Amino acid sequence: MIQDTSQLTDAAADFSLGEVRVSLSPQERFEEYLQSKGKRTTSQRRVLVDHVFARHEHFDADELIDQLNKKTRGDDRVSRATVYRALDELVEAGLLRKMSLGSRSVYEHDYGYPQHDHLHCTQCDDLIEFRSDELLKLREAVAREHGFRVTGHRLTISGICRACAEKRHRRPSPLDLI
């Protein structure tokens, strides 16, 4: 599940992601990539790209396979092998980004999506996206100090989201004082 942190009540900070303009649709960009590799654009690849870019959410391969199986029939049916192969191609083409959350690989949009970071709830596996100008300034200052040219970064902060923390509340115990 994805959350946009612009919904947070902290009026002092705006962590919304903003927007990035692109000249090609994800489908056109993927077709361009496939052509450069001498590969065909199949109807299954089109269905997969359309489905992935119709919404913005983090997903793993099994979730995508389940969603596609519910949505497609006949010639448009996408096999498990095609999904895995296409996901690798979409990452290589710069359309998706692959992240590891423990033993699980999760994908998210990369093409046409701004630089951002994540809060990862280790209880429910939710990812909350945010963007921070202060973090970018810190990154640049550290890079400058070390003579380092930054080409990007990826930050995932692990912890427990508000909803999971509220579920865990219990009556205080004398053992809490130890």
3-state secondary structure string across the chain: CEEEHHHCCCCCCCCCCCCCCCCCCHHHHHHHHHHHCCCCCCHHHHHHHHHHHCCCCCECHHHHHHHHHHHCCHHHCCCHHHHHHHHHHHHHCCCEEEEEECCEEEEEECCCCCCCEEEEECCCCCEEEECCHHHHHHHHHHHHHCCCCCCCCCCEEEECCHHHHHHHCCCCCHHHHC
What are residue 75's phi and psi, to 5 degrees? -65, -25
Binding site residue list: 117, 121, 124, 153, 161, 164
Binding site residue list for Zn(2+): 121, 124, 161, 164
Binding site residue list for Fe cation: 117, 153
